[in-house]
Structure formats: structure tokens, C-alpha cells
Amino acid sequence: MSGPLRIALAKGRLYQPAVARFAAAGIVIDPEPGRRLLIPSSDPAIEFLVVKPADVAVYVESGAADLGVTGTDVLRESEADVLEPLDLGFGACRLVVASPAAQPFPALPGGKTARVATKYPNLAWQHFARGGRPVEIIAVHGSVEVAPLLGLAHWIVDLVDTGNTLRANGLTERETILTVGAVLVANRASQKLKLEQHLRLMSRLG
């Protein structure tokens, strides 16, 4: 674990705000990385790695990356053992339980057990288990909001920002499970071995 600090960034919604945040700290990422997966920055002591959102915590926990930028939704879902030294203040949204607006909630007709479609099976399961409510979790990888319309599930657990996607699919937000935002995560061993570099980065971003 020597050499430059390697920072894993998530593709998708958090990518541009993360790049802007590093740029504001004077760490400018090559805007044309082409097919390179390790991307240099204007600071020779810092390089970036762009991975799928769910993989950021995996790379950081394993030490393949020293640090990463991830949403607390995928971080809590993964239960990765990483440090969270900085709340980055962007990517705010919430993980909620939603169900068809026209249907009563939480009781289903006939006392049926609810089927819940989600990309977050662990967080959803924990939420209902905490409340002592039996549900059947259906893990999917996308298009969660359409699951109740298609009869795949009665309810969903998904991220909501403006609520427009829920409304467009006839769904209403019922319960909040987690408030979500982007955080900087760090590998435990890296923070000890490269303490100076971590502290310098933190003071530039903070």
C-alpha cells in the first residue's frame, strides 16, 4: 500500500459532484480518461479509479483503493468495514418504503404478507424485522418502481429524491428507512500507513 493515494469514485449520479468537489480542492481529474480505469489527477500523489457504485466499498475495504466516495445507501447495504472520515454534503436523498397511493397501508387485504421489491434487500429486511413485521423481500437490480404495477410486489423500498418517479408510477412514500448522502470512506490500514496523506486530503476537502 505505497505510492499515490488511490480514490475510488462511483459511476452515476455521484460522479460529477465528486469530481467538482475534488476540483474545488485543487485536485483536477483528467476529463478524458478514455478507456483507462486508473485516472491520473493534477496531483501526482493522487489517482482515481471509477467503479460501479456498489463496488466502491468493496475496493476500499480490501485496500485496492485507499479511499472512496460512496452513498450511505450502498455503504450500509454492504456493511463494509471502512472508516467514514468525511460527510461530503451532496447526493442527498432518502431510502423509503412506498406503496400504491390508492391502497391502504400497511395492512393488506386478507392479512396477506407483503412482497417488497428492492435493490436493498439487507436494509429492507432489517427495517421490517426491527418492526416485527413479516414481509417477503424480492431483490431486483432496477426498475423497482414498476414492480407494484406489474404485480411483482405489493411495496417497494427505494431511493427517493424529488418524489417524481414515485408519483409517476402511482406510488406514495410511506416510511423513511434512511437519510442518504455521499461520504468519503477510507481503508483502515491505509489511514494508519499513509496518515499524513489522508490528513492532507481531508484538510483540502473539509
Binding site for ligand AMP (CB under 6 A): 13, 71, 91, 93, 158-165
Quick one: 112 or 167, whose CB is closer to ligand AMP?
A: 167
In the bound state with ligand AMP, the residue whose beta carbon lies nearer, of 71 and 148, is 71
State which residue, 60 or 160, has the beta carbon closest to ligand AMP: 160
Q: CB of 30 within 8 A of CB of 46?
A: no
Which amino acid would we find at residue 124? A
Running DSSP on this structure, what letter comes out for residue 35? T
Q: Which residue has the cell 455521499?
A: 182
Name the amino acid, one letter, at 23. A
Shortest Cβ 131–ligand AMP spacing (Å): 23
- Backbone φ, ψ for residue 148 (5° rounding): -65, -35
C-beta of 9 vs 46, nearer to ligand AMP? 9
Smallest distance from the beta carbon of 98 to ligand AMP, in angstroms? Answer: 10
d(CA 68, CA 144): 26
Of the pair 70, 191, the CB lying nearest ligand AMP is at 70
Instruction: Tell the smallest beta-carbon distance from residue 161 to ligand AMP (Å).
Output: 3
Q: How far is the CB of 142 from ligand AMP (least distance, A)?
A: 8
| Cα–Cα distance, 51 to 74 (Å, whole number) | 13
Smallest distance from ligand AMP to CB 137, Å: 17
C-alpha span between 70 and 185 (Å, rounded): 7
